[in-house]
Amino acid sequence: MKKFPPWLSNILMPFVGIVVTLVLWQAISGRVVQSRQPDGTMEESKAGLLKDLPGPITTWEKTRKYVVEPFAKREELDQGILRFTWYSLVIVAKGYAIALALGTPLGFLLGLSKSFTKMFDPIIQILRPVSPLAWMPLGVVLFSNTGRAANELAALFTIAVCAMWPTVLNTAVGVRAIPQDYLNVARVLKLSRWQTLRRIMIPATLPYMFTGYRLSLGIAWLVIVAVEMLTGRIGIGNFLWNEYNNGLYTSIVLCIVTIGVVGFLLDRAMSLLERRFKTA
C-alpha cells in the first residue's frame, strides 16, 4: 500500500478527523421535525439523541452573521465573534505578562535556594489548585477602592495568579537541572552572579521556562471565560454567558469552537517562538 508523503498526511489526517467529528456531531444532535395532526395542522417537535444540542448545520445558519462579519459592532452585546475575542485577548495578554514577570524570578529563587523552597513551596502547593472562581471575588475586594477600574484590575489579578504557577514550577525544575559542570565553568571563568545568570543559567533553563510559559498561556486563556462571566466585562466569555441566559445554544457552540481554536493557535505560536529561541 502506497503511503502518503508526510506533508500530505499532516494535512489530510486532521481534515479527516474534523470531517468525522462533524458527521458524528450532526448524527447525535437534535433536529426539528414536523408532523401532521388529526385536525390537519402541522406541529413541530424535536428529535434526535441529544434533542437540545444544535448540529453543525443549524449552528452555522444561526450564527453566520457573527462569523461573516467578525469585527462588526452592531450593539454592545451584538458584535462579531473576533471582536469579542480581541477584547478577551487584550486582557489575557496583560494578565499573562504579569504572570511571567512574577513567576520567572520566583521560579529562579525556588531553584537556587533550598531554604526559600522549604519556606514557600508548601504555600505555593496550597495556592496552586485554587480555582479562578475563588480568586476573582478576592480580587474584587482587593481593588474595590479603585472605582471603575476595579473589575479590570480584579480580572488581571485573577489571570496572573492562576497562570503563574506552571512558570514558577517549571523554571524551578530547570534551575535545579543545570549540570554542575556549567556552574564550575562559571567559577573558573570568574563570572559575576549577573554574568552567570545571563550566560549560563538562563540559556540552560530556557527549555523548561518555555514549557511553563506555554502552560501558563493556556491557563490564562482558560481563566478569561470565568473572569468575564463573573465581572460582566465584554469579551468572548461574557458573550457565551449572555447567550446561555438567553437560551441561544448555537451561539454557545460557536463560542466553544472559537475559544478552542484561539487556544490552539496561541499554543502553536508559543511553540514556534520556543523553536526560534532554541535555534538562535
DSSP labels, 160-181: HHHHHHHHHHHHHHHHHTS-HH
109-122 confidence digits (pLDDT tens): 999 899 999 999 99
Give the separation between CA 275 and CA 22, rounded to whole angstroms.
33
Domain boundaries in the chain?
A: 89-233
- Who contacts 241 (Cβ-Cβ below 8 Å, separation ≥6)? 228, 229
pTM of the model: 0.87
Give the pLDDT confidence score for residue 2 in this predicted structure: 57
How many angstroms separate the most distant Cα atoms in the chain? 97
Give the pLDDT confidence score for residue 1 in this predicted structure: 47
Of the chain, the percentage scoring pLDDT greater than 90 comes to: 49
43-69 confidence digits (pLDDT tens): 666 776 777 888 899 899 999 999 999
Q: What is the mean pLDDT of the chain?
A: 87
233-271 confidence digits (pLDDT tens): 889 999 999 999 998 899 999 999 999 999 999 999 998
144-170 confidence digits (pLDDT tens): 888 888 888 999 999 999 999 999 999
Of the chain, the percentage scoring pLDDT greater than 70 comes to: 92
Question: Would you place residue 31 in the very low, low, confident or very high pLDDT band (cuts 50, 70, 90)?
Answer: confident
Give the pLDDT confidence score for residue 209 in this predicted structure: 93
11-29 confidence digits (pLDDT tens): 888 888 999 999 998 888 8
DSSP E strands in 12-105: the ranges are: 31-36, 42-47, 73-75, 78-79
Range 73-78 average pLDDT: 84
Q: For domain 89-233, give the fold.
A: MetI-like fold (1.10.3720)
